[in-house]
Amino acid sequence: MTEQRPAQLANGYELVDGVQMHAEQGDRFQIPHSTMKRHVGVGDLVEVRIDSPRFSIHPDAPVQCECPQCNEATTKPVICHEEPASLVTVPTQSTPARGWGEQFWVKITNRAGEWLTGVVDNPLQETKLHELDLGDRMSLHENHVLAIHRIHHNDLLLRMNEEELITFGQWLHDQGLIP
């Protein structure tokens, strides 16, 4: 069996490990529970982030991040694509390449254990640097999944067995999401 590897990208860009980011930042960097990620399958949309240590903040970047999720000091800007292109039409934007990170959606086309293959489901803005764009295939590990699109949540729950549902329910309770 061939060893699975994440996508190889240009200019030092790599997929961000969501599990590692959550361990470092705690509640400030939320990721789906492992039980949810374990049930991601063909046709599901997952959110991932790529970044490169080769680039840093630019002088014209705002001092304070203005996004509603963060609102903290800007250290490394990330371009976020809120919705997959297959669900919401977004006009193509022409922006200069700045070397920022980019968070986007991938539609899963294959699963082999903890490894997923999918197709990029957003036109990306930093393509000139990372050489990845809408329709490109990429491989990723479950740990790279930062979110699972909400349209799949009910289906994922239906794929779980009783023990997994109890574990997931306890996690939701511990997160304060259910009483």
Q: How far apart are CA 86 and CA 107, in angstroms?
A: 9
Domain holding 29, by residue range, is: 10-88+98-174
**Which pLDDT value is given to residue 55?**
65
Residue 34 in any domain: the answer is yes
Residue 136 in any domain: the answer is yes
Residue 21 in any domain: the answer is yes
pLDDT in tens for each of the 179 residues of the chain?
445 667 788 888 999 999 999 998 888 888 999 999 999 999 999 999 999 887 666 566 666 656 555 555 556 678 888 999 999 987 766 666 677 889 999 999 999 999 999 999 999 988 888 999 999 999 999 999 999 999 999 999 999 999 999 999 998 888 888 88
Residue 5 in any domain: the answer is no
How many CA atoms, within 13 angstroms, populate the side-chain half-sphere of residue 2?
5
pTM beyond cutoff 0.75: yes
Tokens of residue 16, six digits: 């961000």
Amino acid found at 165 = L
Residue 179 in any domain: the answer is no
Residue 57 in any domain: the answer is yes
Residue 93 in any domain: the answer is no
**Residue count (the chain):** 179
Residue 94: partners with Cβ closer than 8 Å, 6 or more residues away? none
Number of domains the chain is built from: 1
